Amino acid sequence: MPLKVAPGQALSAFRSVYAGDKDELRQFIEAHFCAAGSDLMRAPLPKDWTPEFPQRVDADHVELMAAIHAMWPKLLRVSRDDFPERRTLIARRFPFVVPGGRFREGYYWDSYWIVKGLLRSGLKETARGIVRNFLDDVRNFGYVPNGNRTYYAGRSQPPLLAEMVSLLDDDALTAEAAPLIEIELSWWSGRRASAIKGLARYGSDMSEPRPESYLEDVATAARAFTPNPEADLRSILKERTEAGATIYGEIRAAAESGWDFSSRWLKGDGLETIRTRDVVPVDLNAFLYKAERRLAAFYARLGQQDDAARFAEKARTRRDLMNATFWDPARKRWRDVLKDGTYASLGPSLSDYAPLWAAIGPPDGDVDGLIENLAATGLVRAFGVQATCTTTGEQWDAPNAWPPLVDMLVEGLLGLDHDGAAQLARSIGTAWLASVKAGFEASGAFFEKYDADARGKRGAGGEYEPQDGFGWTLGAAAAMVGRFHCASDVARAPSRRSPPWRASPLPRRRASRRPSGFARGRRALRPHCPASYRLVARRRRLRTRRRGIRRGAARQHRSRRRRCGSRRASGGPRPCTVRAAPAARPAAARAPVPSRRAWRSPRRRCAAASRPRRTTPRPRVTGSQRNNPPRDTCARFAVQCCAALRCHTACTSRAAGRAGSAARGGRGTPGPPRQPPHGCAASAHASATKKGRMAAAESTARTVALHPLAIVGVSDHFTRVSVGGSRQGAGSPVVGLLFGMQRGLEVDVVDAIEVHLTEATKVDAQFLEQSKALYTEVYEDRDLVGWYAVAPAPTANHLALHEEFVKYNESPLFLLMDPQPQQDAKDLPIQVYETEVHDLKTVFATVPFQLETTQTERVAMEAVAQTGCTDRELMLDTHVASLDTSLKTLAARVRALRDYLAAVRAGTVAADHSLLRKLGALCDRLPSLKSDGAFEEAFLRDYNDALATAFLATATKNAAAVNDLSDKFVLVNARGSKLV
């Protein structure tokens, strides 16, 4: 729960709260804390998301995959970046998917199956963002925390980062991730080394209750401690503290495993007998083995053969050690061992078969024996596989079937390339998927875990209620459908947001001929432009309406002919319509059946009557142009079509109706065209053109995030031109380039640099190319997104100049800054435009924008606003100077208020009672006005708190430095021993 106030203020208020009074405590929480999960926001619709599921599945699983596909936007979150000190959230650069239910943040090993599901749904950019968030974690922590909360620091989860990078199959991402994955693996090898050299175990860097389950951990520690009745109180307290620290460390280690909690970690019957750190687990070392193999492949792909050979050797060494330590030849499976080398438990567990997922086969090559043993263990049930065969009431025991474990086992069995293994894998996968499908059909939800003995039933057990959502269930189910239910007779899956004509499976003939990517004709808009779906739906409704009208008219005409006795005597086929007579024939003698053009809908009649008749053949569109239009062109076309249709229909409906009536041979003649209403784009264009300016209409679904450095760049350019500090002469036009990132309809404008003009409407192309090349060489993730100018309003010259920038960006933005804003204006004197076509004329249309800053930009802006340090100055001097400036500013404002009050008292200034009430309320809140010493006491308390915080921060920093030095020592020592 994020804080509403600063941490120090909340702590000061908490000191006066009596913890035994629940009502007082509840009031304190409501006054100082926000709702749980309010530090995250639901992310906007991903740019790579389409309403239709992009893959093809069999008809029985169309609805299931459509529901899975529709769940991803609901679980997508972004971090809030305001007041980070009030939250426990570790901020993310990119949107991420939360599991759902009570889990309101991202989790490490959950995300592996989430990424698999996102890729099945075609959301590759979203999946790449999730992986890059984890790469940021490795940069910041040296490992990936359990989840993106500060209280998850100190423990991780099964290392699956290398697998996520492998799923994306991106060369640039691989080059970025390879050294970071090596850092993560060294953390696991160093911090989580077990008593058996070369193998790892789960652990934790802290020995205290988990903040997310504080009461449960304290209760478990209390059950684990039995005091000695003969010991004194001091000894009892010491033993209790030590026992509690041990239990807390074991619980945290189990949470790091992901199996929290299971009989795998228990020595007895209850959770108080947990001993996670004494167990050397099979699955963790399988994860590390596969990660080392992936890293060796990454380095080989990048051409670093020495590093590739080094990690390939590490993987072989770990595999041999795993087979020698974990393999039980009598039971034909791998088993967890204790630190003394003995087997941890007799009962089977799905973790025993994790090496299959890591592509490690049985050491003796007896695949048949392994499969027979697996079938005989009791793990395989009617609707999946249960985690263990032991029923303890913990959630990672019988009878729960967990999606990640089912997916890992099925993938491992399929990798054996054995008919019996493949048959068993298909049986397990389809049975579990049938349970998922039944649960969804019954409840409309996807569960965190399922009962392996009951179809469609939630799992049970554990320290919290079963959750719905659920991220890894969606990913595992999508992967299972991809393995076993992608038959040849397939259908495109409809989603809940799909248009109604896509809700039923496609006929096989259409499905086999349908091209991938952009489709033909009007469907070229559909894969990437959500706005175009409404346009396509409207067209289909109009076609259906016209078809019904034509059929009804034909039926009426046939009935009329029968009544008039005009049926042909020959008995031949009767025509559906009557052809119109030649032009010389009188209108009254024509057949009463309207033509096809006449039966158009009202909107189509409006457009048909107002536009000129085409006299030239339509331009031929080549296959490459038809099937692969640029995304920007596609989006701009959809937006322009929608806007132009709204404007044109509103402006010309009555005139077009009269024109359509005349075209159909009705009475009356078309009158003069109706003038567009006030405020319409066409009217604005006509009136503004008379004044020599181009109009600005309201616009589109496109959104712009404007960063402060871009505004500073435009302002700096204008200032330099005004004072003669620019290479261009004073009074020359202020024009420049905008750089940033563009993702579909969302644009981030990050920076601005000036550009030269050769004429009033001509850009110096050579200078522009050089500036663009230099900038993009430094900032590879940015590109030219538009241009800027300084003027009171857009003009015709700006429109002509805008066409120059279309050569470099198909849909450039135009940022216009007003150099002379009104004094009482509260908004920035900035407008952002793009071009649209209204009544066959190009006009500027406004685009909404919002200010957005990153942490780096905030630091940079603060550095720009403050005076920098010289070589002889210290940072403390600058800090004190800034505080001095702030105090002087505050004193000046207080002085102004005092002078105002004195003037009001003297009667020289009229009293503003609203302002006086605000001043009175402010004075009442100032503790310094009180004379009972409360201010001094509060000040000293806050001062001591600040000193304690500084001391703890210093100690934490030094501890982190020691840990870093220890990691480097372990790494250097390990490499040195390898060289020797």
Q: Catalytic: 176?
A: no
Distance from C-alpha of 49 to C-alpha of 97, rounded to nearest angstrom: 14
Distance from C-alpha of 853 to C-alpha of 868, rounded to nearest angstrom: 21
Give the sign of the dihedral formed by CA 593, CA 596, CA 601, CA 603.
Answer: negative
Question: CA distances (Å), 429 to each of 413, 432, 435, 436, 900, in order?
Answer: 11, 5, 10, 11, 78
Strands 703-706, 746-754: pairing kind = parallel
Question: Catalytic one among 260, 407, 834, 836?
Answer: 260
The helix (H) or strand (E) run that includes residue 311 is helix 305-326
List strand residue ranges (DSSP E) for 500-601, in order.
none
Distance from C-alpha of 963 to C-alpha of 969, rounded to nearest angstrom: 10
Q: Catalytic: 451?
A: no
Q: Verify cis geometry, omega within 30 degrees of 0, for the bond prior to 637.
A: no
Distance from C-alpha of 280 to C-alpha of 5, rounded to nearest angstrom: 45
Question: Catalytic one among 407, 448, 468, 748?
Answer: 448
Category of 907 on φ-ψ map: left (φ > 0), alpha (ψ -120 to 50) or beta: left
Give the sign of the dihedral formed by CA 938, CA 940, CA 946, CA 948.
Answer: negative
8 A C-beta contact, residue 678 and residue 697: no
For 336, counting Cβ atoms within 10 Å of its Cβ (0-12 exposed, 13-18 middle, 19+ buried), the class is buried
8 A C-beta contact, residue 134 and residue 108: yes
Looking from the CA of 68 toward its CB, the CA atoms found within 13 Å total: 36
Question: CA distances (Å), 654 to each of 405, 604, 605, 657, in order?
Answer: 66, 13, 11, 5
- What is the DSSP code string of 195-207? SSTT-B----S--
SS3 call for 23: helix
Token pair listed for 528:
């990437």
Token pair listed for 744:
């579909």
Rg (CA), the chain: 36
List strand residue ranges (DSSP E) for 636-760, in order.
696-697, 703-706, 735-743, 746-754, 757-759
CA 707 to mean position of chain CA atoms: 20
- What is the DSSP code string of 193-241? B-SSTT-B----S--S--GGGHHHHHHHHHHH----TTS-HHHHHHHHH
CA angle, 391 then 396 then 397, to 5°:
20
What amino acid positions are annotated as catalytic residues? 260, 448
